[in-house]
Structures are given as C-alpha cells and as structure tokens.
Amino acid sequence: MENISDKIQKIRSEYGDKALVPEDLNSDPIQQFESWLADAIEVEASEPNAMAISTVDTENKPRSRYVLFKNIVNDSLVFHTHYESSKAKEINNNPNVSGIFFWPEIYRQIRFEGVASIADSKVSDEYFKSRPRGGQLSAWASHQSEEIEGREILEERIKELEKEFEGKEIPRPEFWGGYLIDVHHWEFWQGRKNRTHDRFSYSKVDTEWKTVRLSP
C-alpha cells in the first residue's frame, strides 16, 4: 500500500488567482470578516462558521479545537461552550486566544488574535433559546472535557433530562454560555497561483486600525 508521505506528495492544490488588493479591503476588519464569511456561505462552503480557537493551559502549552462562530456582539466574535470545559478553564487563567477560519472553496483564510471574556447572560440566553431541544439537553447532560466511562452514561442522562423537562421550556444551564473575543489583530489571506498569496493584517493602534500587506 502506498504510504502516507507518497500520498501527500501527490497533493498539489492551486489556490485560484483572485487578487486581494488594498482597495478591496474595508477599513473596518469586522466588516471585512463579515463580507468574507458571507462569501463563504454564498458558495456553500462546508461548516463556514467553524473556527479553530487556541488557548494556553497553565503550563503555557497551546491547545486548539474547533468551535462554531455564532454572532458579533459589540464588535466581538461570539462562540458558546461549557464554562467548566478545559478551554473555559484555560481562558479563565489566560484570556489571550487566537483563532482561524479556512474556506478552501474560495481559497481564503482569516486569522485573529484577541482577548476572550464571558458574554452577557442575555447573549447566552438568546442563543440557547434558539438551539434545537436536543442541543439544549446535551448542554445540560455533558460534563464537557471530563473523562466519561461510556457513551451510555450520557444517553441515560439525556433520557432523564427529557423526562424532567417534558412539556417545559428548557432553561440555559448556568455552566453553559457564550464567550466574546475582542480581536486586536486580524489577518486576511487570499490564496494565489504558485503560492504568491495576498495577505493583509489589521492591528489596532489606539482606536485606529493599521493595515499592512504581508509577504506570503
């Protein structure tokens, strides 16, 4: 059987050749992000709002995982999770996070760096209400990031909760909700032919955004 190195060597994607020029960039990176996300949704990119978020643990070891970007509130990016999960403990200890979106369908990547904080309960309640009942129950049932002996424990817990909440609105558990990421650095990457990609970063200087082109 062909080994993985040989398989990888055969992969050689070209990244289109759509130019990203300074004139196309919105002076506000949040609007630029919104416009690129809208493009990704338009082309039906797979999981367009999935973003990888990196945190550091108490020993400064970086850890990454995907979460779903759900909203923009006060110019901050919102995602939701368990407030006792590993990521939440890491954010509590060090709120500096970085994140990344990748939309291969349009050869675009967005990176960002910012500071995370717990969202207002209104933001979390609003989103929790919009979740399908199954997602609401699993938020209650899961001790996210903790070791669990078997899947049946989770399934049993969900069955119990289904009975408990039968015919009732499911409230948001206090241990589950949103985080806001206040982004102070963004980078927009447009893949180009022969790896001559276009990259622009935005850094916040006082209250202004400074934009520069970066070498690919």
Ligand X SMILES: Cc1cc2nc3c(=O)[nH]c(=O)nc-3n(C[C@H](O)[C@H](O)[C@H](O)COP(=O)(O)O)c2cc1C
CA dist 147 and 25 (Å) reads: 45
CB 201 within 8 A of CB 189: no
Smaller CB separation from ligand X, 79 or 186: 79
Smaller CB separation from ligand X, 12 or 61: 61
**Shortest approach of ligand X to residue 77 CB, angstroms?**
12
Smaller CB separation from ligand X, 36 or 179: 179
The per-residue DSSP string of 109-133 comes to: EEEEEEEEEEPPHHHHHHHHHHS-H
**Shortest approach of ligand X to residue 145 CB, angstroms?**
4
Under the rule (CB under 6 A), what is the footprint of ligand X?
47, 50, 63, 65-68, 79-82, 85-87, 144-145
First-to-last C-alpha distance (Å) of the chain: 36
Smaller CB separation from ligand X, 97 or 183: 97
**Shortest approach of ligand X to residue 56 CB, angstroms?**
12
**Shortest approach of ligand X to residue 168 CB, angstroms?**
24
Smaller CB separation from ligand X, 25 or 45: 45
Q: Which residues of the chain form beta strands (DSSP E)? A: 50-56, 62-68, 71-73, 76-82, 96-103, 108-118, 176-190, 198-205, 208-214
CA dist 27 and 50 (Å) reads: 24
**Shortest approach of ligand X to residue 116 CB, angstroms?**
12
